[in-house]
Amino acid sequence: MAGVLAANFLYVILITLGGVLVSGSVHFVPVGGAPAAMAQATGIGTGTVQLAAGAGLTGLVTAGAMLSLTDSMVLILAAGMVGAMIMIGVTMMVGNLVYVYGVGVPPASAKVDYDPITKDRQDIYVSQGTEGHGLPTVSFVSGIIGGGLGGIGGALVYYSLMSIANGMASADFVGLAAIFAVGIFFVNAVIPSYNIGGTIEGFHDPKFKKWPKAVVTSLIVTFMCAIVSVITIGGL
């Protein structure tokens, strides 16, 4: 058991790094939760975990597809990154279409008076009694960054697990590595969601400054999960 761990210690570190990237990435994604689903808060109208899972699992699938073609770590991480960015970007774009043309509200942030990217005025467009609505440019850009980081993180976890030497049949190995990646991913999606208390607008939100707490927590938890998963896969 110790031998397996020593031989694969690099992968323990890479898995931990991947988990930490996922955890940090969630802080970028504009999540509005149930209030946003009623157009009463800025962000996408669902929970952090659902969004992170959607983006991360898409990243896993695209990374897995790339893994069947090449061994290059850079290409696999890039595939995971782009997959997750497309997934989160499409979600935000369709969400914005619904907010603007369905609900009839302009995208506006309640956390800043001027959009840091476009410099557009925000506060006068925020409906009374709401915390903003839709996805203004800064939230969209932040979400794309978050999707990218989460995709790299998910792909890094999967790639590291798939790189561990073992004696399993390939179908068994893929299944086991995938379910480990999913488990580690979900844990790292929930931790930051507790850190931000369910909603965040993006990197311009004051809550964004809390990210080190989630990252430290994820570092410790993912390290434990990484050791457990490396011992499991390496020992088979």
Partner 1 sequence: MSAGGSGGGAAEAIPQNKLIAFGAAGGLIAIYLSYFMVQFAGPAFSFIGALGAICAIVWGAAAVRRVASYGLGTGVPSIGMLALGMGVVATMFGLAIGGIAGPIVAFVTAMVIGLVIGALANRIIGMGIPIMEQSTTEIAGAGTLAIVGLSTAMTGTFMFDVVLTEIIATGYIALIFIVAGIAILHPFNANLGPDEKQDRTLTTGFEKGAIAMIMAGIVSAVSAGASAAPTIVIGLAIWYVSFSQYRNYVVRDAYDVVGTGLLPKEEEESE
Would you tell me which residues interact with partner 1 (CB under 8 A)?
1, 33-34, 47-50, 53, 168-169, 171-172, 174-176, 179-180, 182-187, 189-191, 193-195, 197-198, 213-214, 216-217, 220-221, 224-225, 228-229, 231-232, 235-236
- CB nearer to partner 1: pick between 165 and 224: 224
- CB nearer to partner 1: pick between 21 and 190: 190
AA identity, residue 180: F
Q: Nearest CA to 188 among 159, 143, 219?
A: 219
Q: How far apart, in Å, are the Cα atoms of 214 and each of 20, 130, 158, 193?
A: 8, 27, 21, 9
d(CA 93, CA 7): 45
Q: Would you say 233 and 166 are in contact if contact means Cβ atoms under 8 Å apart?
A: yes
Q: How far is the CB of 123 from partner 1 (least distance, A)?
A: 25
Q: How far is the CB of 55 from partner 1 (least distance, A)?
A: 14
Q: How far is the CB of 52 from partner 1 (least distance, A)?
A: 10
Q: How many CB atoms lie within 10 A of CB 13?
A: 13
- CB nearer to partner 1: pick between 78 and 196: 196
- CB nearer to partner 1: pick between 82 and 191: 191
Q: How far is the CB of 27 from partner 1 (least distance, A)?
A: 12
d(CA 57, CA 189): 12
Q: How far is the CB of 174 from partner 1 (least distance, A)?
A: 8
- CB nearer to partner 1: pick between 10 and 236: 236
Complete DSSP assignment for 184-227: HHHHHHHHHHHHHTT-B-STTSGGGGGHHHHHHHHHHHHHHHHH
Q: Scanning the structure block, which residue is given the tokens 């896993």?
A: 60
